[in-house]
């Protein structure tokens, strides 16, 4: 009886530690990767907090992983940069594309601008990584810390 209890307890501790080490939000909601900000998901925050009960390091790692991946935030609550897909034809000319982008953005878009970067990507994850690396709204995010 004692051995079974010890094994069950050891399994529970190992399972909780592994989950905390890989980041609860990253495991539970991988589709949220790349979100930059928003409201924090209380379920993920509490699950990460459980890692703090099993020593400090697993909980801190879980929070760090979830914040760096953006998986701790609730979906659809980010306020700043985002990635949107837009299907275009191969034979579309520049002026038509500028008009389409201007309608989508709600302001005039010029593809001749030095501040504009157009990149074709294979996956949404790659597009989100480019947005994060671009430093969009970094000043606003750093000011809120």
For residues 138-145, average pLDDT = 54
- Please give the Cα distance from 94 to 102 (Å, whole number): 12
Q: What is the DSSP letter of 25?
A: H
Taking alpha carbons only, the member of 59, 61, 39 closest to residue 49 is 59
Same domain, yes or no: 51 and 103: no
By CB neighbour count within 10 A (0-12 exposed, 13-18 middle, 19+ buried), where does 117 fall?
Answer: exposed
Whether residue 9 is found in the same domain as residue 55: yes
pLDDT at 76 > cutoff 80: no
Predicted confidence band of residue 5 (pLDDT cuts 50, 70, 90): confident
In a domain, 88, yes or no: no
Together in a domain, 10 and 58: yes
Q: Structural domain tally of the chain?
A: 2
Residue 112 belongs to a domain: yes
Query: CA angle, corner 121, sides to 115 and 125, nearest 5?
Result: 100
Residue 82 lies in a domain: no
Q: What pLDDT is recorded for position 138?
A: 53
pLDDT of residue 111: 81
Which pLDDT band, with edges at 50, 70 and 90, does 67 fall under?
Answer: confident
Q: What is the mean pLDDT of the chain?
A: 75
Model confidence at 31: pLDDT above 80: no
pLDDT at 80 over 50: no
136 in a domain, yes or no?
Answer: yes
Query: Where do we find the tokens 């979830």?
Result: 66
Q: Could you list the residue range(s) of the whole structural domain that residue 43 is in? A: 2-69
Return the bridge partners of 40, or none. Answer: 73
Cα–Cα distance, 52 to 73 (Å, whole number): 19
Mean pLDDT of 64-85: 70
Which residue's structure tokens are 């697993």?
A: 58
At residue 140, does pLDDT exceed 60? no
């Amino acid at each position: 009886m004692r051995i079974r209890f010890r094994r069950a307890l050891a399994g529970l501790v190992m399972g909780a530690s592994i989950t905390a080490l890989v980041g609860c939000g990253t495991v539970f909601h991988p589709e949220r990767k790349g979100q930059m900000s928003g409201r924090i998901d209380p379920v993920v925050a509490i699950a990460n907090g459980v890692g703090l009960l099993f020593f400090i390091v697993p909980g801190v790692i879980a929070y760090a992983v979830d914040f760096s991946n953006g998986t701790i935030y609730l979906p659809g609550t980010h306020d700043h940069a985002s990635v949107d897909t837009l299907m275009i034809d191969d034979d579309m000319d520049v002026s038509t594309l500028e008009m389409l982008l201007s309608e989508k953005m709600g302001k005039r878009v010029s593809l001749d601008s030095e501040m504009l970067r157009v990149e074709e990507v294979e996956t949404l994850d790659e597009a989100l990584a480019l947005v994060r690396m671009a430093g969009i709204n970094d000043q606003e995010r750093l000011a809120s810390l």
